Amino acid sequence: AQRVTQAQTEISVVEKEDVTLDCVYETRDTTYYLFWYKQPPSGELVFLIRRNSFDEQNEISGRYSWNFQKSTSSFNFTITASQVVDSAVYFCALYAGGYQKVTFGTGTKLQVIP
């Protein structure tokens, strides 16, 4: 079985603050893929990043960065210098192969206050 836990239900930060969204996953498979999606108020889910289990390098894309740590089964997402446009629900997801489907976390609602 696979599971994704996003313990933070809602986070509020003031604009320009840094914020980290936590994601903890569970799987018995050694090959798996992790994803982050952003859902702005308009509703459409936007793909942000994909990471496979053999690549533990952290990734940075502009103000976004991702910290993948297999030792703690975490794939955390940090937004640096947050902006109001970052306000959205963010989903972490896991795919561990075989006949399983992608498992989504319950999402973290981020509100960036101007």
Partner 1 sequence: SQTIHQWPATLVQPVGSPLSLECTVEGTSNPNLYWYRQAAGRGLQLLFYSVGIGQISSEVPQNLSASRPQDRQFILSSKKLLLSDSGFYLCAWNEGEEYGYTFGSGTRLTVV
- Say whether residue 97 binds partner 1 (CB under 8 A): yes
For the CB of residue 81, give the shortest distance to partner 1 in the complex, in Å: 26
When binding is defined by CB under 8 A, the residue of 30, 52, 83, 111 that contacts partner 1 is 52
Cα(90)–Cα(36) distance, integer angstroms: 7
Q: Please tell me whether residue 69 binds partner 1 under the rule CB under 8 A.
A: no
45 binds partner 1 (CB under 8 A): yes
Q: Phi and psi of 3, rounded to 5°?
A: -150, 145
Give the whole-angstrom CA distance, residue 31 versus residue 58: 18
Rounded Cα gap, residues 21 and 3, in angstroms: 17
Among 69, 102, 111, 113, binds partner 1 (CB under 8 A): 102
Q: 24: Cβ–Cβ under 8 A, 6 or more apart, which residues?
A: 4, 5, 6, 7, 72, 73, 74
Q: How many residues bind partner 1 (CB under 8 A)?
A: 23
Give Cα 37 distance to the centre of its chain. Answer: 7
CB of 87 to partner 1, least distance (A): 14
**Sites of contact with partner 1 (CB under 8 A):** 33, 35, 37, 42-47, 50, 52, 89, 91, 93, 95, 97, 100-102, 104, 106-107, 109
